[in-house]
Each structure stands twice: as C-alpha cells, then as structure tokens.
C-alpha cells in the first residue's frame, strides 16, 4: 500500500476504492517419473526444485494422451507444465506444435525454449515474418514449431503436403492463451483447429491438445468447443502469489462543459500518463494498458514529457508498444523489455498475453479491457517476484467503467466470464468448409464428424453456388484462388497502409473494417511520439496518405445506422414488453468526425465526411414495449425517442460486463416506433457478420444485464445524462436526443 499512498497524496478523491489481496503460499508435488531427466536437471539448476501441483496434474493428462486445459492465474508456471509433456514427446521422436494468438508471444516462447538443454528439441518460429529459408529449415529439422492460427490457416494447412513429415509425427498441440479465442475470432480458430486435426488424422497422427488459459468460467467446455472433442480441465492454482493491492481510480471533474451542457471529467488517458510518470519516478517498473493505439502513443509521450523535467535519463526508459508497428520495431521493443532497458511501457492489449517481463511492480489499466478475465490477466503482469504488486484500474467516462468503480465487487467478488463463440455460425463455417475441401476431398461423413451436423447441408449449398464441385469421392474446391482467402480469421478484412506524404515511408497499418472510423480524411494518427493528419483515405487502393502535424486535439468518427429484422429466432414476454433475438440487416455510414481537446475531451467542432455506406448481416437482441403503454408516459415524441436512445447507449455500455465482448464489438439502434415490430424498439447487435454470440448471450441473461443497466442510469448523480451513464463515444447522432429519466421508466416497465 505504500506506493499507492504515495500516488494518492493530493488525489484522495480520485481513489474510489482499494483492496489488499493477501499473499498465497504454493504447493509442490514430486516430479512425475516419466519427465525428462534433462529437463529436471535444467529446472534444478534454475532454482526450480519441484513442480507445482497444477503443473503435475495437467502434464499427466497430456502424457496419457488426453486433451487438457490448464486454467490458472498469470505467472503460475503454465509454460513448464506443457514443457514436461513436450520434452517427453520430442525425446520419443514426435513433434510439437505451439500456437499463440500473437507473434510476440510465440517469439518470446522461442527465446525461452532456446535455453532448454534438451537433445531432441529443435525449436523454430514459423509465421508471416519467417522467410523462405527459415520455413525450409523448420520443415526439414524442426521438432517444436511455434506459430499462430493465421499461419496455419493461410499456409501450413493449405500446403500440408510440404509439412507432411512434421504432421505425421505430431503428438502434442499447445494452445497458449486460449481464452483469447472468443467471438468470431474464436469461431474461426475453432474451425482451423478442426481442419488441423482432420489433416493429422489423414497422416495417421492423433495429437493431444494442451491448452493454457487465464481463469475462465467454463475452461473445459471452451476447449471442447474449440477442438470439437472431449477434454479435461485443471483449475486449482497451486502456485504462490505475492500480496496484491487493487485500486479503483476515477479522474476528477474539470470546469469544461460538453456540447450537451454536461460537466467533463478529466480524460483517463491524461490521468494514465501522469500516473505512469509518477510510477517511473518512484522507481516502479510499470505497464500501462490503454484501449487504442493512439492512446498508447499519447500516454507514453505525456509520461516522457513529465519525467524529462525531473530526470531526462529516466524519460528515455519510457516507450509505447502497440499493434501496427513493423516487425523489426516490435522485436527491438520486446528485447528492451526483457533486458530491462525499458522500465515503463504504455501498451495496447498486445502485451497482455504471456510475454515474459519479470519483476514488474505495477500495472495501470485504463478503461475496461473487455472482460474480467482480461483485466485479471493484465493485473497479473505485476508481482512476478516476491515484492508486492500494485494494480490500478482507471475509469473512463463511460457507463461500464463508472459501474465498475462504483461496484468494485463486480471485479473482486464475481467469477470471470464464460467464453462466447459459435463455430457453427454458417457465415463462419462456410469458408472453412471450402478450405477443408481444398486441402482434402470433403465427404458428408467428414463434414459431420469434424465440423457439425449441419456442415453437409452447407457444403451442398456451396456446391450449388459453384464454390465446390460434388463428385463421388466428395466435394472439391474448384476456384483458382486459394480457398483460405474466403475466411478472415480476425474479421479485419483488407489492411489499409498508412503512408507519409512526400517520403513514402510506411508508418503502419489498420484493418480495413475500422479504416472509415480511424483513418478518414482529417483523422489524427500517432506513431512513436509523432502526430500525423490523414489528408486522403483511398478506399479503392487501401491506402491512407498522412502529413506530419502538431495539434492539441484528437478525432472521433460518428456514424448513422438503420436496421431491419430478417428472421426471429426466439421471442418471449418480458415484463410488460417482449424480448427477442434473431437475424438483422444493419446499414451504417461514417458521416462526420468530431474534434476534441486531447487533455479534457472538450468538444471543438465537427466536420462532415462523404464515405460510402456499409452493410452488415448479423445477429441482434431487441426488446419492445407496446404503443398503449408508452403513450401513457408523460413524454412527447422526441423525449420518447431520447429515452429509447439513452437505454440503448447504457445497455451497450454494460453488455461487456456479462458477455466476453468489447463495447466496440457491438452496436445498437433505437426508435420509438420500428416498422418491423410496430412498437418502441431497442436493438443491440453483434458488430461482425453472422454474429459472434454476444447478442444471444444478452438474450439469455437479459434480466441481469438490463437490470444492471437500469441501476446504472438511476444511480448516476448527473442531472440529465453524462458519458458515465447514457452518453456514448461512438453515437452517430452526437448523443442527441437523450432522456435519462425516460430511459429509467422504459427499463422499469420492461423489468416489471
């Protein structure tokens, strides 16, 4: 608590809640008799005299050929658990495939493996950054390959004949950080895994799967859904844990007023930059997690500027780490992190997963990271040694963040969420059936066995569309282009390159799906402390042209949406209205962007854009209230629309507390009368084609979710609505109209 006391001096009102979690002792078990003597000798020399109980339990399941998931806390030694099984596999002439959701994590694991003195261990990283000679060596000599689902999908499975020698001996598949596979990404990876196991079966291999995960509510069920086979789970954490202080922090109100006459709270980004600077000056090694690439750059630069006034040398130990960096930039930063050259880093979730950064003292998490599991994963990065750890959650001025700081028990005393993903989504499954058919002829028996019972019907439909050709021996891929191009695992679509005007220098990339919102004409983009303004977004050629600039504002895109119901899957009475879920068509268009002052979020103006509309077929949950009921409320038409609009914003803001999604993974539309329902209707929809399971989860847990939404709005101390309850940072209508009291009335009728 000493470090927190120092930070909170003069800021006591910002520290909303703090709790100290006591240290925990560990429990050892003897080494299993089958574990490699070489590995035991190395561990003993490294100060590891015996494994923890959970390491032994999980390793034994893998040794017996069972699929197993080890779901324990950060820094609980999961790497050694699967290393026991891997050492046995390679010693017996088998091979191991390690999969991670990020390249950085795979390369960090490679660095660790290269220090293991195992005679038969020949590790190699094979991913998009590996050149031809590196891949050739891996195919010919590698016994432990480190990769990611993207490389499997686009390269290894598509050219499995090249990897036949490795796949024929494949005995163990390690899936690290498996909790990262959720939503549409999780569904895609589940289908890639089924394709991999199908190819292994073709070569006579039957590998066991060893998954590692942060604590999740349903680890066994999640792994079974991911690989399509029964699995065991080990969840009891026998590793020691240092004392940990958890602090909930809320920036103070400023004198600035928003365009809706609401007081503006100091930005969480500015608060994070200041705390990161103070922690650096206090000598604490710190990671500051933020919610966007631009915020990572801003926080790092703010901290450097503050520290430079006191200790210019210490300022050089602060940097930003985020996606979009070029490979050589990532590798250099990762090495500086491992060596300790960098002491304080502002990062996106890119450093949430697994990279070994020892002796961290503190973590600052700025804004809700999407799930409780992610929050604990980020918190767990600190305290890997015996020293106490400090974890700070800074609330942004948004409904979910406000709810968390006012109800810390939602983090401290509530189980983490279940993983939500649906590999049977036809929009996700269809392209993988095409990919499977291009790898090996796909029979109806194959499709049902490896994918799902509806897969043969989907394959037959693909044949009717001309994508597959039906022959007596199965379905075949008949197109000239690679079938893997049909499925985009991360849902990003095309990649837009950001190029500096004049020099032609490549600054970075953003995914095509978010390009309209992030790199539109006039957008502000930050890269390694430098600021650029987008002069032109060339949609046809996936290029954004940027010019260097110096500004004190950031930009925020706004879009407008409409929605049509195409199918109702389920509908039930709820309170005095109805609740439903089904398929919808959403049409949206980025129409303008707002400029806001960087330090305060103060609104500075708005500029129109002329970008094309985008269309999305997805899944939604919606609720309705009959006309006679809402007519009895003391609201005119605009006030009623504002009430529905406010309820929509708040419910979108809180759904991530219950489903494993992010606010930006979902969207919403509301109206006091919708043509398809004939009633006041509020929609919340998945932001990915075909749906990701979030809306369906909201339907199944609607009373808890919408009850918390009503509580949040009613208990917020603002008079007419603010960013902490009903205002949304991505509202296409500029948060107008909004009716706070009306929203409470509507939700009360629904929950009655």
Mean pLDDT of 710-729: 83
Contacts of 393 (CB under 8 A, 6+ apart): 246, 247, 248, 249, 365, 375, 404, 405, 411
In percent, the amount of the chain with pLDDT more than 70 equals: 95
Whole-number pLDDT of residue 130: 82
Whole-number pLDDT of residue 154: 93
Q: How confident is the model at residue 311 (pLDDT cuts 50, 70, 90)?
A: very high
pLDDT per residue as tens digits for the range 482-516:
999 888 887 655 678 889 998 888 887 787 767 88
The CB-side HSE value for 475 (13 A sphere, CA atoms) comes to: 30
Q: How confident is the model at residue 15 (pLDDT cuts 50, 70, 90)?
A: very high
Q: How confident is the model at residue 215 (pLDDT cuts 50, 70, 90)?
A: low
Segment (H or E) for 477: strand 474-477
Q: How confident is the model at residue 612 (pLDDT cuts 50, 70, 90)?
A: confident
Whole-number pLDDT of residue 401: 86
The candidate with the shortest Cα–Cα distance to 229, out of 264, 261, 197, 254, is 197
Lowest mean pLDDT among 47-51, 427-431, 683-687: 427-431
DSSP 35-75: S-HHHHHHHHHTT--S-BHHHHHHHHHHHTT--EEEE--TT
pLDDT per residue as tens digits for the range 24-50:
999 999 999 999 999 999 999 989 999
Phi first, then psi: give them for residue 331, nearest 5 degrees: -60, -40
Global pTM value = 0.74
Whole-number pLDDT of residue 333: 81
Lowest mean pLDDT among 101-105, 473-477, 713-717: 101-105
Does the structure show a pLDDT above 90 at 304?
A: yes
How much is the mean pLDDT over the chain? 88
Whole-number pLDDT of residue 453: 94
The residue with greater pLDDT, 661 or 392, is 392
- Map residue 156 onto helix, strand or coil: helix
Label residues 588-609 b or e (16+ Cβ within 10 Å = b): bbbbbbbbbbbbbbbbeeeeeb
**Torsion angle, CA of 622/423/429/148, rounded to 10 degrees?**
120
pLDDT per residue as tens digits for the range 376-420:
888 888 886 567 899 999 998 877 788 788 889 888 887 776 777
Does the structure show a pLDDT above 80 at 250?
A: yes
Per CATH, the number for 563-588+614-751 is 3.30.1360
Q: How far apart are CA 751 and CA 486, in angstroms?
A: 43
> Are 529 and 538 a contacting pair, CB within 8 Å?
no
pLDDT per residue as tens digits for the range 167-210:
999 999 999 989 888 877 888 999 999 999 999 999 999 999 99
Lowest mean pLDDT among 131-140, 243-252, 332-341, 351-360: 351-360
Lowest mean pLDDT among 300-304, 325-329, 490-494, 651-655: 490-494
Phi first, then psi: give them for residue 545, nearest 5 degrees: -95, 130
Superfamily of domain 37-234: P-loop containing nucleotide triphosphate hydrolases (3.40.50.300)
Q: How far apart are CA 617 and CA 583, in angstroms?
A: 7
Count other Cβ atoms within 10 Å, centred on residue 518.
23
2-22+241-412, what's its fold? Answer: Rossmann fold (3.40.50)
Whole-number pLDDT of residue 529: 67
Segment (H or E) for 594: strand 577-597
Mean pLDDT of 9-25: 90
Q: How far apart are CA 96 and CA 84, in angstroms?
A: 12
Whole-number pLDDT of residue 173: 98
Q: How far apart are CA 540 and CA 316, in angstroms?
A: 40
Phi first, then psi: give them for residue 245, nearest 5 degrees: -105, 125
Whole-number pLDDT of residue 385: 56
Whole-number pLDDT of residue 508: 77
Segment (H or E) for 16: strand 15-21
Does the structure show a pLDDT above 60 at 246?
A: yes
The residue with greater pLDDT, 586 or 425, is 586
Q: How far apart are CA 750 and CA 128, in angstroms?
A: 50
């Amino acid at each position: 608590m000493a470090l927190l006391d120092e930070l909170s001096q003069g800021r006591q009102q910002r520290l909303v809640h703090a709790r100290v979690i006591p240290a925990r002792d560990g429990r050892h078990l003897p080494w299993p008799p089958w574990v490699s003597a070489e590995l035991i000798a190395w561990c003993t020399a490294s100060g590891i005299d015996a494994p923890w109980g959970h390491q032994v339990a999980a390793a034994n399941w893998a040794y017996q050929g069972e699929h197993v998931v080890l779901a324990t806390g950060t820094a609980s030694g999961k790497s050694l658990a699967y290393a026991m099984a891997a050492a046995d596999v390679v010693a017996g002439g088998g091979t191991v495939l390690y999969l991670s959701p990020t390249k950085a994590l795979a390369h960090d694991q490679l660095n660790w493996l290269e220090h293991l003195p195992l005679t038969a261990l020949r590790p190699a990283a094979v991913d998009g950054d590996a050149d031809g000679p590196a891949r050739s060596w891996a195919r010919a000599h590698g016994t432990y390959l480190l990769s990611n689902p993207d490389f499997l999908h686009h390269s290894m499975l598509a050219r499995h004949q090249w990897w036949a020698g490795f796949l024929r001996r494949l005995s163990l598949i390690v899936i690290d950080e498996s909790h990262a596979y959720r939503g549409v990404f999780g569904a895609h990876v589940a289908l890639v895994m089924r394709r991999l196991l199908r190819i292994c079966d073709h070569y006579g291999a039957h590998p066991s799967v060893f998954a590692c995960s942060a604590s999740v509510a349903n680890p066994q069920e999640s792994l079974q859904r991911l690989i399509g086979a029964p699995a065991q789970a080990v969840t009891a954490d026998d590793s020691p844990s240092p004392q940990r202080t958890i602090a909930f922090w809320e920036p103070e109100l400023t004198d600035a007023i928003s365009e809706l006459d609401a007081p503006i709270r100091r930005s969480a980004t500015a608060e994070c930059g200041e705390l990161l600077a103070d922690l650096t000056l206090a000598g604490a090694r710190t990671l500051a997690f933020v919610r966007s690439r631009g915020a990572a750059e801003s926080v790092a630069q703010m901290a450097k500027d503050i520290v430079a006034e006191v200790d210019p040398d210490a300022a050089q130990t602060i940097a930003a780490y985020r996606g979009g960096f070029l490979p050589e930039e990532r590798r250099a930063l990762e090495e500086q992190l491992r060596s300790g050259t960098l002491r304080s880093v502002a990062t996106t979730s890119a450093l949430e997963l697994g990279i070994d950064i020892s002796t961290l003292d503190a973590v600052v998490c700025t804004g809700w990271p999407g799930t409780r599991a992610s929050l604990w994963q980020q918190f767990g990065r600190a305290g890997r040694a015996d020293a106490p750890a400090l974890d700070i959650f800074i609330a942004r001025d948004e409904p979910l963040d406000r709810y968390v700081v006012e109800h810390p028990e939602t983090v401290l005393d509530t189980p983490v969420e279940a993983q939500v993903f649906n590999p049977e989504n036809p929009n996700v499954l269809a392209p993988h059936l095409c990919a499977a058919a291009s790898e090996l002829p796909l029979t109806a028996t194959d499709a049902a066995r490896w994918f799902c019972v509806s897969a043969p019907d989907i394959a037959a439909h693909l044949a009717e569309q001309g994508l597959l050709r039906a022959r007596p021996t199965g379905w075949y891929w008949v197109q000239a282009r690679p079938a893997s191009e049909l499925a985009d695992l991360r849902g990003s679509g095309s990649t837009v390159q950001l190029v500096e005007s004049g020099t032609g220098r490549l600054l970075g990339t953003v995914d095509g799906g978010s390009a309209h919102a992030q790199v539109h004409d006039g957008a502000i983009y930050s890269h390694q402390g430098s600021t650029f303004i987008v002069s032109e977004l060339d949609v046809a050629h996936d290029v954004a042209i940027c010019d260097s600039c110096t500004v004190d504002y950031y930009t925020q895109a706004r879009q407008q949406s409409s929605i049509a119901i195409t199918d109702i899957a389920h509908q039930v009475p709820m309170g005095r209205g109805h609740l439903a879920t089904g398929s919808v068509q959403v049409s949206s268009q980025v129409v303008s962007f707002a400029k806001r002052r960087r330090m305060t979020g103060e609104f500075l103006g708005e500029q129109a854009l002329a970008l094309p509309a985008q269309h999305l077929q997805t899944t939604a949950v919606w609720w309705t209230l009959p006309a006679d009921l809402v007519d009895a409320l003391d609201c005119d038409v605009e006030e009623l629309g504002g009430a529905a609009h406010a309820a929509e914003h708040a419910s979108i803001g809180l759904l991530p507390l219950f489903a494993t999604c992010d606010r930006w993974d979902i969207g919403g539309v509301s109206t006091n009368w919708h043509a398809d329902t004939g009633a006041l209707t509020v929609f919340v929809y998945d932001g990915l084609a075909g749906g990701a399971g979030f809306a369906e989860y909201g339907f199944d847990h609607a009373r808890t979710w919408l009850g918390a939404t009503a509580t949040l709005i009613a208990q917020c101390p603002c008079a007419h609505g603010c960013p902490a309850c009903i205002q949304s940072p991505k509202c296409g209508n500029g948060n107008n109209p909004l009716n706070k009291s009306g929203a409470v009335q509507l939700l009360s009728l629904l929950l009655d």
